């Protein structure tokens, strides 16, 4: 009987290990075909309406079905994973883990912003004769409504984080509100040890198991969905705009890479006591999904699976840290926001003092903690900082053209950062359960 149970698990696990290869194929195919389509239109070989039809009737629906399926499952998965993860903890352990998670998140986000600001100040991608860039910004922003600046900064923003109606928070994609409600409910279930409380924990745990299985099904169409998303993006973007603001794009990509393989590697080696090379190899599927979806929330189901099955983090640690990190540990986004504000200030000749740059750094760190884990969520924060220092709003049009590509890259850094923080927290937490993937009577019941 035991052998019959073990065989299906081995058969299911085997194709999962090759999914990152299929995901990579989808990424490369979508990007290359998109760029080829853009060039064919530019040289008049193919009419634009033909490419638009391919995007409208093929690439876009395929990509959106995949992305929306993941987003559909993200709220119930975030809620159930966080509640069950916290409910398994002792209240004292919860407070300790929460403080460590917040401390690591703050430190990593601060280092990310410092890295970005240091590079943009040292390289100066927006300095020099920028008449061409200013003219391009005016051209791109013509007739388009500006991005609305973020509201509710300071203590008001902290207060509004607490949802008055958790159902409404879920309905409006207020992920942070759902996380706070799940945190409160999980604490209550951890403290209230009654028979009814046990049944509620088991019910929410069952919801979590079903959501994880459904995510497995959705990931079967991931390569097709990824190819569709990237084809639609690169067919419209092309390489023309990349050439015009290539230095800015290069600085952002270099800063993200330096933070990922520099800062993260140091933390993994010194704090988590893990091999950076092995760690990045283990999380490649989560990083590929993040790159394709541009959404930490949509990637969360894959991130949780990778944390427990590949990185083998304790379940109670991964569920708590990763679900919170999907909205609170956006250090790649924080880095991007700082670089963008300083770049646009340089383009339009707005000189920022050292004190103003420090304020930008502080807002970016706080914004990275409170930015929603969905595509384009950082743009309102950037618009707010631009308005603070008198940087013309039309400058944001320069960024919108390449934001999809950069959003994909910074989301990858965000997700990798969530897993790094989880590994650091797990290192300092006592092991209270078997490592993920070890078969026990309780874990076997949830095996797929």
> What is the per-residue pLDDT across 5-33, written as a single tens digit (0 to 9) for each?
333 333 333 345 466 677 778 878 887 88
> What is the per-residue pLDDT across 385-401, written as a single tens digit (0 to 9) for each?
777 777 777 777 677 66
Euclidean distance between CA atoms 361 and 115, whole angstroms: 11
Query: What residues contact residue 212 under an 8 Å CB cut-off, 6+ apart?
Result: 77, 301, 304, 305, 448
Euclidean distance between CA atoms 167 and 352, whole angstroms: 43
Residue 154 confidence (pLDDT) above 50:
no
Percent of the chain clearing pLDDT 90 (strictly above): 10
- What's the whole-number average pLDDT of the chain? 76
- Among the listed ranges 36-45, 78-87, 280-289, 307-316, which one has the minimum average pLDDT value? 78-87
pLDDT band, residue 268 (cuts 50/70/90) = very high
| DSSP summary character for residue 271 | I
Euclidean distance between CA atoms 410 and 403, whole angstroms: 10
Determine the pLDDT at residue 439: 34
> What is the per-residue pLDDT across 52-95, written as a single tens digit (0 to 9) for each?
888 889 888 888 887 788 778 777 877 887 787 677 666 666 67
Euclidean distance between CA atoms 169 and 85, whole angstroms: 21
What are the distances in angstroms from CA 197 to CA 128, 185, 203, 204, 433? 65, 11, 10, 11, 21
332 touches 414 (CB < 8 A): yes
Evaluate whether residue 2 is within a structural domain.
Answer: no
How does DSSP assign 290-329, residue by residue? Answer: HHHH--HHHHHHHHHHHHHHTS---HHHHHHHHHHHHHH-
| DSSP summary character for residue 46 | S
Residue 265 confidence (pLDDT) above 90:
yes
Evaluate whether residue 422 is within a structural domain.
Answer: yes
Evaluate whether residue 110 is within a structural domain.
Answer: yes
Determine the pLDDT at residue 275: 92
Evaluate whether residue 1 is within a structural domain.
Answer: no
Determine the pLDDT at residue 263: 92
Residue 190's CB: how many other CB atoms inside 10 A?
Answer: 20
pLDDT band, residue 440 (cuts 50/70/90) = very low
Euclidean distance between CA atoms 446 and 448, whole angstroms: 6
Determine the pLDDT at residue 441: 33
pLDDT band, residue 442 (cuts 50/70/90) = very low
Euclidean distance between CA atoms 335 and 92, whole angstroms: 33
More confident position, 189 or 377: 189
CA-closest candidate to residue 329, choices 151, 136, 105, 6: 105
Determine the pLDDT at residue 305: 87
Determine the pLDDT at residue 309: 87
Evaluate whether residue 5 is within a structural domain.
Answer: no
> What is the per-residue pLDDT across 284-295, written as a single tens digit (0 to 9) for each?
989 988 887 777
CA-closest candidate to residue 408, choices 109, 135, 130, 31: 31
Total domain count for the chain?
Answer: 1
418 touches 321 (CB < 8 A): yes
241 touches 69 (CB < 8 A): no
Tokens of 390: 């008198």
Residue 375 confidence (pLDDT) above 70:
no
- Among the listed ranges 269-278, 297-306, 358-367, which one has the minimum average pLDDT value? 358-367
Mean pLDDT, residues 352-374 taken together:
70
Evaluate whether residue 4 is within a structural domain.
Answer: no
Euclidean distance between CA atoms 313 and 296, whole angstroms: 19
What are the distances in angstroms from CA 368 to CA 268, 323, 414? 21, 15, 10
Residue 264 confidence (pLDDT) above 90:
yes
Which residue range is the domain that position 131 belongs to? 10-444
Euclidean distance between CA atoms 348 and 331, whole angstroms: 26
Residue 144 confidence (pLDDT) above 70:
no
**What is the length of the chain?**
448
Determine the pLDDT at residue 434: 39
Evaluate whether residue 234 is within a structural domain.
Answer: yes
Determine the pLDDT at residue 257: 94
More confident position, 207 or 366: 207
Evaluate whether residue 298 is within a structural domain.
Answer: yes
CATH number, domain at 95? 1.10.3860.10
Q: Bin 143: left if φ > 0, else alpha if -120 < ψ < 50, else beta.
A: left
């Amino acid at each position: 009987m035991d052998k019959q149970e073990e065989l299906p698990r081995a058969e299911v696990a085997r194709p999962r290990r090759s999914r990152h290869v299929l995901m990579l194929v989808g990424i490369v195919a979508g990007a290359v075909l998109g760029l080829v389509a853009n060039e064919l239109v530019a040289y008049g070989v193919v009419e634009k309406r033909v490419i638009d039809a391919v995007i409208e009737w093929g690439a876009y629906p395929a990509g959106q079905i995949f992305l929306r399926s993941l987003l559909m499952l993200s709220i119930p998965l975030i809620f159930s994973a966080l509640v069950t993860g916290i409910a398994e903890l002792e209240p004292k352990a919860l407070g300790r883990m929460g403080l460590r998670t917040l401390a690591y998140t703050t430190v990593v986000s601060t280092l990310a912003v410092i890295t970005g600001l240091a590079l943009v100040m040292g390289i100066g991608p927006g300095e020099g004769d920028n008449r061409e860039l200013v003219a391009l910004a005016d051209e791109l922003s013509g007739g388009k409504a500006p991005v609305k600046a973020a509201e509710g900064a300071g203590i008001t923003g902290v207060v509004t984080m607490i949802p008055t109606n958790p159902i409404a928070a879920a309905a409006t994609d207020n992920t942070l509100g759902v996380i706070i409600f799940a945190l409160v409910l999980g604490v209550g279930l951890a403290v209230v040890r009654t028979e009814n409380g046990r049944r509620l924990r088991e019910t929410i745990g069952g919801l979590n198991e079903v959501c994880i299985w459904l995510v497995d099904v959705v990931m079967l169409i991931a390569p097709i969905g990824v190819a569709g998303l990237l084809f639609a993006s690169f067919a419209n973007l092309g390489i023309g705009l990349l050439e015009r603001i290539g230095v800015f794009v290069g600085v952002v990509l270099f800063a993200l890479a330096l933070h990922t393989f520099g800062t993260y590697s140091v933390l993994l080696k010194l704090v988590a006591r893990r091999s950076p090379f092995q760690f990045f190899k283990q999380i490649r599927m989560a990083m590929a999904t993040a790159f394709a979806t541009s959404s930490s929330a949509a990637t969360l189901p894959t991130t949780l699976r990778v944390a427990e099955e590949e990185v083998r983090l304790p379940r109670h640690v991964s569920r708590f840290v990763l679900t919170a990190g999907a909205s609170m540990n956006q250090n790649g986004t924080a880095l991007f926001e700082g670089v963008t504000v300083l770049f646009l200030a340089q383009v339009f000749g707005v000189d920022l003092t050292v004190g103003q740059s420090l304020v930008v750094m502080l807002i970016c760190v706080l914004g990275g903690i409170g930015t929603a884990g969905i595509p384009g969520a950082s743009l309102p924060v950037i618009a707010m900082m631009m308005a603070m220092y008198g940087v013309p709003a039309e400058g944001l049009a320069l960024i919108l053209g390449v934001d999809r590509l950069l959003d994909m890259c910074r989301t990858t850094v965000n997700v990798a950062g969530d897993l790094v923080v989880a590994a650091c927290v797990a290192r300092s937490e006592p092991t209270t359960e078997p490592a993920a993937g070890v078969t026990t009577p309780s874990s076997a019941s949830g095996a797929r």
